[in-house]
Structure 1
Amino acid sequence: MFLTIDTGTTNTRIYLVDGETVKDSIKINAGAGDTAKTGSNQILKESIQNGICRLLSDNALKEQDISAVFASGMITSELGLCEVPHVTAPATPLCLKEHAKTVLLSDVVSVPITFIPGVKNNTDFKSLANLNEMDMMRGEETELFGLMKLLKVKPPFTAVLPGSHTKFVAVGNEGQILSCRTTLGGELLAALSEHTILNNSLPKPLISNIVPECLNAGFEYSRAHGLSDAAFRVRLIHNFTNLTENERANFFAGAVLASDIQALGEITPETKVLVGGSDPLRGVFIHLLKTYTRCEVIEASDEAVNLSTVYGVLELFYLE
């Protein structure tokens, strides 16, 4: 029996796994963002420690019953619990396994934790002109290898993994990670809807269901006039139209994510795009991709998304 820890910017998920079966999991409202805000990883450390204790207690287990702990995501960054250098793309599961780092953090759990490295693009900084070639990921590599195992997607393809950040990952013919590209899509949605004047015009949670015509309208307006202009239209829609708050939210999401679709680059009918992440963002991306590109879209199921990190760990360390 083992544990996997998946830490993002805002949340951490801990899974209890027996063989290839997830027995239980717990979501913690703590992530690398807490370290960035406070300058200390103490909140993250204590939250993970408490989460592990609760997960084990709920299942009548003790730490001695756990054979291994694996951690991926922002927990392996300078904002996490143990910084592990990125592996340079192209990256395979074997490459990640060979560069993983096992450390005992007795103030978190008495079982050594194996920290899985992230992946960075094979591009060094030369000038601001080549910034578009540089990028990195932490956590999405494990998630992606898990999705590939669960969904049996035949490479090559491009993966879209929305969350706090939207990650676009190019996967090569042999199933290796070639490169990635990142946007602040999810964080922008949260920041603009919660910390600007738009707070009064948008619901929480943001989207209850997709309204295609409103999503498309926001997307097209943003592409034509830019995000800042499009974002303020949400307030005007609130004050001067009869559109519902969910319809306003759809316009807003389309406006913010227009640049994310642009970041995908050239898409042809031969391009396969695997969309992961959780709804409603997954559904939004699927709709926009099907409406504004000609690619083949493959949708990950809720079950595959929920199990992706666990199966990524299995692919790296247990499955032949």
Structure 2
Amino acid sequence: MNQKHMQGCIVGINWGSSNFRAYLIDADAKVVDAMEAPAGIAGLDRDGMIRHMASVAVRWPGVTHVYACGMIGSNIGWIDAGYVECPVALGGLAQGLRETRIGEVEVLVVPGLACRRTRDNASDIMRGEETELFGLLVSRRLPQSGIVALPGTHTKWVRMDGGRVREFSTAMSGEIFDRLTAAGLLASIVDGPAHASPAFFDGVRAGVRRDAGLGTLLFGARAAVIRGDIKRSEGASYLRGLLIGSEVADARALFPELAEASIPLVGSGTVCALYAAALSHLDIDSHAVESREAIARGFAEMHALRLGSPA
């Protein structure tokens, strides 16, 4: 791509714990080029971060506005960009941008969001999702008020209020599933991927009922497979359902209005489909939201606010 085609473009980088994703974003907030590598912050030292940022400058020379969100701004990243306290709108997030230099590249790092929830007075934090959320809001793919779910490794349940992030809750269901089925006792009862089967819905109901604590229920899944109550081929489905069901029970307790609305689901299609099936089984409506270029829109809007003109 020549420099003429890059005029007016910015670079937005979503740099998480496991992956590095960089986007060349044009004046219409469209992604015109991208690069990706399994080079997350958790596996890089500072020299490694410099090398990856240098590769961005080589690929897109002459682009002077570079933004980055995610774990690059955490206490294990390049610079701790801190957190903006909720409730917050996009303008408040943009005001918290932190200037830094990674090697030879000047970068504006997006802060995370922090909240203290109304119902249980507990603290929570997010990094990376805030840029995607505001991108979806600006593109009118999310309601200005209501509950939004972002299923993934660390699923977020977010309460929006008048275009602001009011508060949110994080569940580590995805990471727990990945780790428990990769090694240890529960790995021995898993054969194949999770799907929305009768065993999955059995797990959802067990997770919601909470006849015992989650730790007890998880080991109970092993016992059920060993004793033949659940087929090994359904082990992953039952475990996934158990974790999602427990998570939905938490979300309903924290955000009672969840039961009365259609919940936007933002994330991987496969994972969102499992959440949609679980929610439907619990008589909660949901719908998938296209989010492919949402993070680009979020970066573009922050850039426009910084320049003083809406994108």
TM-score by length of 1: 0.80
Select which of 214, 225, 228 maps to 2:199. Answer: 214
Select between 233-242 and 148-157 the one with higher mean Cα deviation.
Answer: 233-242
> Structure 1 240/48 Cα, relative in aligned 2: closer, same or farther at 3 Å?
farther
Contact 1:234-1:252 within 8 A present in 2 as well: yes
How far 1:68 moved relative to its partner?
1.3
Contact 1:16-1:25 within 8 A present in 2 as well: yes
Write the distance in 2 (CA, Å) between the matches of 1:137 and 1:75. Answer: 13
Partner amino acid for 2:211? Answer: A
Contact 2:53-2:102 within 8 A present in 1 as well: no
Write the distance in 2 (CA, Å) between the matches of 1:215 and 1:157. Answer: 27
> Structure 1 175/246 Cα, relative in aligned 2: closer, same or farther at 3 Å?
farther
Match of 1:73 in 2: 70
> Structure 1 268/278 Cα, relative in aligned 2: closer, same or farther at 3 Å?
closer
1:199 match: secondary structure: helix
Superposed CA RMSD? 2.7
Write the distance in 1 (CA, Å) between the matches of 2:32 and 2:93. Answer: 25
Note the alpha carbon deviations across 1:214-263, whole angstroms, 9 max, x for none. 21111222333343333234434544549766532111101122221122
How far 1:213 moved relative to its partner?
1.6
Select which of 3, 11, 18 maps to 2:11. Answer: 3
5+ residue gaps, structure 2, are 1-8, 305-309
Write the distance in 2 (CA, Å) between the matches of 1:6 and 1:203. Answer: 33
Note the alpha carbon deviations across 1:192-228, whole angstroms, 9 max, x for none. 1112212233247x43xx3242211112223333433
Select which of 96, 99, 103 maps to 1:102. Answer: 99
Contact 1:157-1:272 within 8 A present in 2 as well: no
Select which of 111, 114, 117 maps to 1:117. Answer: 111
Match of 1:50 in 2: 52
Select which of 240, 246, 263 maps to 1:273. Answer: 263
5+ residue gaps, structure 1, are 35-40, 125-129
Write the distance in 1 (CA, Å) between the matches of 2:228 and 2:50. Answer: 46
How far 1:159 moved relative to its partner?
1.3
Write the distance in 2 (CA, Å) between the matches of 1:161 and 1:316. Answer: 21
Q: Identity over aligned residues, as a percent?
A: 23
> Structure 1 85/48 Cα, relative in aligned 2: closer, same or farther at 3 Å?
same
Matched, 1:16 2:31: no
> Number of residues paired by the alignment?
292
TM-score by length of 2: 0.83
Matched, 1:235 2:222: yes
Match of 2:34 in 1: 25
Contact 1:218-1:230 within 8 A present in 2 as well: no
Note the alpha carbon deviations across 1:59-100, whole angstroms, 9 max, x for none. xx44x3222111111211111111112111111111111111
How far 1:8 moved relative to its partner?
2.5
> Structure 1 26/198 Cα, relative in aligned 2: closer, same or farther at 3 Å?
farther
How far 1:11 moved relative to its partner?
2.3
Match of 2:5 in 1: none
How far 1:5 moved relative to its partner?
1.3
Contact 1:168-1:181 within 8 A present in 2 as well: yes
